[in-house]
Amino acid sequence: MGLIYIVGSLSIAAFLYENLKSLFSIIKSVVEPFFRPNLPKTLAEKFGNWAVVTGATDGIGKEYARELARQGLNLVLVSRKEEKLIAVTNEIGSQYNVKIKWIVADFAKGREVYAHIEKELNGIEVGILVNNVGTIHDPESLDKVSEDMLWDLLTVNVGSVTMLTRKILPQMISRRKGAIVNLGSSSELQPHPNLTAYAATKKFVTHFTKGLEYEVAEHNIHVQLVMPAFVATNMNSYSDKVRQGGLLFPNAYSYARSAVFTLGKTSETNGFWVHGLQYALMKLFPMEIRTYFVYQLFKRMRIEAMEHRLKNQKLS
């Protein structure tokens, strides 16, 4: 009985630590300034005055950039469409008195875009890098996903977070100051049948981020993994239920406000309290059960996506 008690206690303690460490870190960060008033109080003081945000013209990326601007950071917005970059620059610039620069870059083109970005960033001390850009396809079995789409998944979701971090990291190391935020996904928790390749790329982001965190800790650089669940954005346009929003599906504005609040406070977060609860509850079950549940869920979503496409075809 004694051995069972010890094993059980250790298992419970390990589970609580793994799932509640983000919450405890945030509580600590809220209380700590009262006891250590000399700590940096703003993101600019902690990391620097400029933030680079990729995929900055829609969804989480756009709202994350807006929230950083609200907190006084200058922005470099990176996306593939010039007209949308100009529109978002004007929109955020009309709200907040910050400097904003934009860079047109299509990450699906691969290696060629990074020299262009590096040139455009010349002379800018990047304090925060937000690797948000990503792509996804409607739920579908791998054999029916086009090869072009699969190459884009790998090139954008894996390539961008790796190579842009590599470009910007040396200047952060030389200043001993900075933060790297990588947008992963709760889909990394288990395989995702019908989004198999997408979920695999997000598992890469998890391992890449956690490894990098240890590599650069000695240089005083903060690395954060953000793992959202469903957010009501265009990336989930195949599901009317998700896009309608609700308690389980926050909009991009609410999600980004919550996620930015955790920056500098914890190295790993789901970004939104409901998503944190969902993630913790899913981890209670063995991977086989989680995978089966996700398979059934996305099998229904696959049908919903097909119906959505047919509806749009009839309207067009």
Which active-site residues does the annotation give?
Answer: 198
Residue ranges making up the domain that contains 125: 25-315
Tell whether 18 is covered by a domain.
no
Domains identified in the chain, total number: 1
pLDDT in tens, the chain (316 residues): 677 878 778 877 877 777 777 667 767 777 777 877 777 779 999 999 999 999 999 999 999 999 999 999 999 999 999 999 999 999 999 999 999 999 999 999 999 999 999 999 999 999 999 999 999 999 999 999 999 999 999 999 999 999 999 999 999 999 999 999 999 999 999 999 999 999 999 999 999 999 999 999 999 999 999 999 999 887 776 666 676 667 778 999 999 999 999 999 999 999 998 898 899 889 889 999 999 999 999 999 888 878 777 776 666 5
Specify the CATH number for the domain of residue 113: 3.40.50.720
**pTM for this structure?**
0.91
**Which of 154, 150, 222, 226 has its CA nearest to residue 188?**
226
Inside any domain, residue 4: no
Instruction: Tell me if 152 is assigned to some domain.
Output: yes
* Structural domain contains residue 287: yes
**C-alpha dihedral sign at 129, 262, 15, 297:** negative
